C-alpha cells in the first residue's frame, strides 16, 4: 500500500522483487486502477479548466492580434503585424504605459514603507491585538468600484472634501482631475488605502517569525530600537518585502477599476480629458469594447503581458542580488 503514497522517505517503488504470479481478484484490480487513476482524475479539473479559460485565450490573443477584427465580426482579416506597428507609433499607448508605471510607483513604494512601520507598531505588545489586525484590514473588504466612486467624490475638484479642507487650511485647491501628476497621486491613494492593511499583515507575520534570540542578542550588544530595526529586523524581512513587491507589480500593472471610476465623466474610459490617467488596461478595454477593435486590443494585451514579464524578471534578478548581498552581510 505504501506504493500508492508519495512518502518522501520511502524507497522508489520500481525495483520490486519478482513475485510469483498471483491471480488478482476483480476487487484488487479495481483498487489498483483506482490508485493509478485517482491523482490524474483529481488534478484534471484544474488543468482542463485552465487550458480552456486561461491558456487558450492567452495564446489566441496573439492570433487575434494579427487580424483586423471588429467586435461583432465572425472572423477578422489577416493583416500581419500591422496592429503592432500602429501600436508602436501610438502616442496614446505610450502615454498609458507611462501613466501605469507612474501610478504603480506612487502606490507601491509608500505602501511598502507604511506597511513595515505599521507592522512594527502592531508587533508591540498590544491589548486586543486581533481587534487591531481586523481593523487594519477594513479597507480591503471595500469593493474596488465603491472605492473608486468614494475617492472620486472625496477628490472632487469643485466640492470635494479634500479640496475643501485644503481651502480651510489656506492652501490652494488642487485640480485632481486635470493635473496629470495630481490625478496619479489621487489614484495611488486609493490603491494604497485599500492594500496597505493587507500587506501590513503579511509583513507582521514575517516579523513574528523572526527568532527572539536574535533580537535579544542585539539588545545584549546594546543596540537601540532603531538600530535593532534597521540592522536586524529589516534584513530578515527582505524575502517577504520582495514577495509583496512582486505581487503588487503583477496587480498594479493591470490597474483598471480605479482609474475607470475616478473619471469625472462617469462611464467614460478615456481616463481624463487628455487621457492623463488612462492606464494600459483601460486603453485595452476602450480599444476592444468601445472602439470595437478586438485585433488592436489584443496587440495591447500582448504588449502589456511583455511589460509584466520584463518587470517580473527585473524583480527576480533584484531578488537574487539582494539575497546574495544578504548572504554576504552575515
Partner 1 sequence: MTALTVPDRRAPVRRGRRGFGDQRARFWVYGLLIAFLLGSAFPIYWSFLVASRDSGMLTEQIPPLLPGGNFFANASRVFDTVPFWKALGNSVIVGGVVTLTTVFFSTLAGFAFAKLRFRGRNGLFLFVVATLAVPTQLGIIPLYIAMSDFGWTGTLWAVMVPNLVTAVGVFWMRQYTAQVLPYELIEAARVDGCSMIRVYWHVCLPAVRPAAAFLAMFVFMTSWNDFMWPLIVLNAENPTVQVALEKLQSGYYVDYSLVLAGTTLATIPILIILILLGRQIVAGIMHGAVKG
User: Is residue 304 within the footprint of partner 1 (CB under 8 A)?
Assistant: yes
Helix axis angle for 234-252 and 180-208, nearest 10°, is 140
Q: Is 325 in the site for partner 1 (CB under 8 A)?
A: no
Furthest-apart CA atoms within the chain: distance in Å: 95
Identify which of residues 43 and 324 has a Cβ nearer to partner 1 in the complex.
43
Q: Quick one: 38 or 273, whose CB is closer to partner 1?
A: 38
Q: Which is nearer to partner 1, 125 or 328 (CB)?
A: 125
Cα distances (angstroms) measured from residue 38 to each of 4, 10, 13, 51, 52: 10, 20, 18, 20, 22
**Closest distance of CB 52 from partner 1, Å:** 8
Task: Supply the minimum distance, in Å, between the C-beta of residue 23 and partner 1.
Answer: 20
CB of 269 to partner 1, least distance (A): 10
Would you give the DSSP letter of residue 12? P
Query: Based on the number of CB atoms within 10 Å of its own CB, is 160 exposed (0-12), middle (13-18) or buried (19 or more)?
Result: buried
List the x/- string, 84-103, binding to partner 1 by CB under 8 A.
Answer: --------------------
What are the residue ranges of helices labelled H in 137-279? 138-141, 144-154, 161-168, 180-208, 212-220, 225-228, 234-252, 257-262
The three three-digit cell numbers of residue 50, written as one number:
485552465
**CA dihedral defined by 219, 221, 222, 225, rounded to 10 degrees?**
-40
By CB under 8 A, name the one of 24, 81, 105, 134 that touches partner 1: 134
Q: Are 147 and 158 in contact (CB under 8 A)?
A: no
- Asked if 291 touches partner 1 (CB under 8 A), the answer is no
Nearer to partner 1, 181 or 289 (CB): 289
Helix axes 129-136, 180-208, angle to 10 degrees: 150
Of 12 and 21, CB closest to partner 1: 12
Q: Is 7 in the site for partner 1 (CB under 8 A)?
A: yes
Site membership for partner 1, residue 112 (CB under 8 A): no
Is residue 146 within the footprint of partner 1 (CB under 8 A)? yes
Place of cell 490597474: 255
For partner 1, the closer CB: 266 or 326: 266
Out of 82, 86, 123, 238, point to the residue binding partner 1 (CB under 8 A).
123
Give residues 160-199 in contact with partner 1 (rule: CB under 8 A).
161, 164, 167-168, 193, 197-198
205 is an interface residue for partner 1 by CB under 8 A? yes
> Please, what is the minimum distance in Å from the beta carbon of residue 44 to partner 1?
8
When binding is defined by CB under 8 A, the residue of 24, 29, 32, 47 that contacts partner 1 is 47
What's the Cα-to-Cα distance from 51 to each of 54, 58, 64, 75, 224, rounded to whole Å?
6, 10, 18, 22, 54
Cβ 180 to partner 1, closest distance in Å? 23
The three-class DSSP label of residue 16 is: coil
Distance (Å, whole) CA 98 – CA 92: 10
Of the candidate spans 86-94, 95-103, 283-291, 317-325, the one that interacts with partner 1 by CB under 8 A turns out to be 283-291
224-253: contacts with partner 1 (CB under 8 A): 224-229, 233, 240, 243, 250
Q: Is 170 left (phi over 0), alpha (psi -120 to 50) or beta?
A: left
Q: Which is nearer to partner 1, 128 or 328 (CB)?
A: 128
Residues near partner 1 (CB under 8 A), total: 114
Amino acid at each position: 500500500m505504501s506504493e500508492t503514497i508519495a512518502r518522501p522517505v520511502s524507497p522508489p517503488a520500481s525495483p520490486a522483487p519478482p513475485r510469483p504470479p498471483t491471480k488478482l481478484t476483480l476487487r484488487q484490480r479495481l483498487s489498483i486502477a483506482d490508485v493509478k487513476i485517482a491523482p490524474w482524475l483529481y488534478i484534471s479539473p484544474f488543468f482542463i479548466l485552465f487550458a480552456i479559460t486561461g491558456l487558450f485565450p492567452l495564446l489566441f490573443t496573439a492570433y487575434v492580434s494579427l487580424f483586423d477584427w471588429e467586435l461583432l465580426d465572425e472572423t477578422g482579416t489577416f493583416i500581419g503585424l500591422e496592429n503592432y506597428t500602429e501600436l508602436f507609433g501610438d502616442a496614446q499607448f505610450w502615454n498609458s504605459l507611462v501613466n501605469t508605471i507612474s501610478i504603480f510607483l506612487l502606490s507601491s513604494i509608500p505602501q511598502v514603507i507604511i506597511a513595515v512601520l505599521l507592522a512594527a507598531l502592531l508587533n508591540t505588545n498590544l491589548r486586543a491585538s486581533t481587534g487591531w489586525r481586523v481593523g487594519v484590514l477594513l479597507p480591503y473588504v471595500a469593493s474596488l468600484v465603491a472605492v473608486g466612486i468614494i475617492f472620486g467624490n472625496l477628490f472632487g475638484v469643485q466640492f470635494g472634501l479634500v479640496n475643501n479642507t485644503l481651502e480651510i487650511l489656506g492652501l490652494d485647491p488642487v485640480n485632481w482631475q486635470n493635473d496629470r501628476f495630481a490625478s496619479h497621486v489621487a489614484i495611488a491613494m486609493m490603491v494604497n488605502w485599500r492594500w496597505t492593511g493587507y500587506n501590513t499583515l503579511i509583513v507582521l507575520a514575517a516579523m513574528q517569525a523572526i527568532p527572539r534570540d536574535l533580537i535579544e542578542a542585539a539588545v545584549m550588544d546594546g543596540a537601540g530600537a532603531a538600530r535593532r530595526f534597521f540592522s536586524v529586523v529589516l534584513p530578515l524581512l527582505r524575502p517577504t518585502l520582495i514577495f509583496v513587491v512582486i505581487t503588487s507589480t503583477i496587480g498594479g500593472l493591470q490597474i483598471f477599476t480605479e482609474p475607470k471610476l475616478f473619471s469625472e465623466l462617469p462611464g467614460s474610459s478615456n481616463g481624463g480629458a487628455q487621457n492623463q490617467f488612462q492606464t494600459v488596461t483601460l486603453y485595452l478595454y476602450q480599444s476592444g469594447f468601445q472602439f470595437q477593435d478586438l485585433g488592436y486590443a489584443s496587440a495591447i494585451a500582448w504588449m502589456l503581458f511583455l511589460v509584466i514579464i520584463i518587470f517580473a524578471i527585473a524583480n527576480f534578478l533584484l531578488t537574487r542580488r539582494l539575497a546574495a548581498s544578504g548572504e554576504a552581510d552575515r
